[in-house]
Amino acid sequence: MNKLIVANWKLNPLTLKEAEGLAEKINQVSPHEVVLCPPIAFLPLVKYLHLGAQDVSPQVKGAYTGQISASHLSSLGVKYCIVGHSERRTMGERDELINQKLQALLHFKITPILCVGYGTAVSQDELEVTDVLGSQLTADLEDIDPKKVIVAYEPVWAIGSGRPATPEHAEQIALYITTKFGVKSVLYGGSVNSTNSESFLSQHHVGGLLVGGASLLPDDFNKIIG
Ligand code: PEP
């Protein structure tokens, strides 16, 4: 079944040459829809069918030095944009700001990939997880049409740690988010690699993957996208 696989390159690689080289090594043909999200400076120059941004300004135009507008992304033909990644939430990004970013993206018909997660310990129980996710999603999606939003469920402890959630846990949470919030689809992210990707993709309610570290390794990433 066709799913969505999103590569979050974060602040990598360091040069345009490396970024172009990395994109060239990623297979263009996949049974899934594959989106590369390079650093914003490289976005207009990297060649790949589907490109996404890693963040956007809540404002569309005006005196906001250094910001990237949803209008800029739209004029580059960008189709997707990650919003509310845990690394940005750690830098102080709050749900109200995330909500404004979602509004700006939807105004320009860019599909947001809204990241939600929870806590720092693996031991948190299921009830606590859905409590935290529920309050993040309620605030983030206020006055937003949920059917236009893709959610990426990323437990904070699983990101970049080499300790993924279990596919069964990802499935349960994807089912919870889809049923309770009516979003377009739910991706899983957190230490996905070429060995475990299929076990997540085969879950019925998991609509795809958000991949960080492994998306910088072309051989691994090509195995993930099939
Ligand atoms: C991420 O940063 O969104 C992510 C999922 O990273 P990693 O795959 O490296 O855990």
Which atom of ligand 1 is nearest to 215's Cα? 8
Q: What pTM, to 2 d.p., does this model score?
A: 0.96
| Residue 39: CATH number of its domain | 3.20.20.70
User: Alpha-carbon distance 171 to 157, whole Å?
Assistant: 17
Q: Domain residues for 154?
A: 4-225
Of ligand 1's listed atoms, the one at least distance from the Cα of 213 is: 9
Tokens of 191: 């230490």
Cα 94 to Cα 50: distance, rounded to the nearest angstrom: 28
Burial of 1 (0-12, 13-18, 19+ CB in 10 A): exposed
**Core vs surface per residue 94-106: b (16+ CB within 10 A) or e:** ebebbbebbbbbb
pLDDT one digit per residue (tens) for the chain, 226 residues: 599 999 999 999 999 999 999 999 999 999 999 999 999 999 999 999 999 999 999 999 999 999 999 999 999 999 999 999 999 999 999 999 999 999 999 999 999 999 999 766 666 666 688 888 999 999 999 999 999 999 999 999 999 999 999 999 999 999 999 999 999 999 999 999 999 999 999 999 999 999 999 999 999 999 999 9
* Structural domain count, the chain: 1
Could you tell which of 4, 5, 6, 8 is best to mutate to test the pocket of ligand 1, judged by most ligand atoms within 8 Å of the CB?
A: 8
Best substitution site from 186, 187, 210, 217 to test ligand 1's pocket, by max atoms within 8 Å of Cβ?
210
Going by alpha carbons, the residue nearest to atom 7 of ligand 1 is: 212
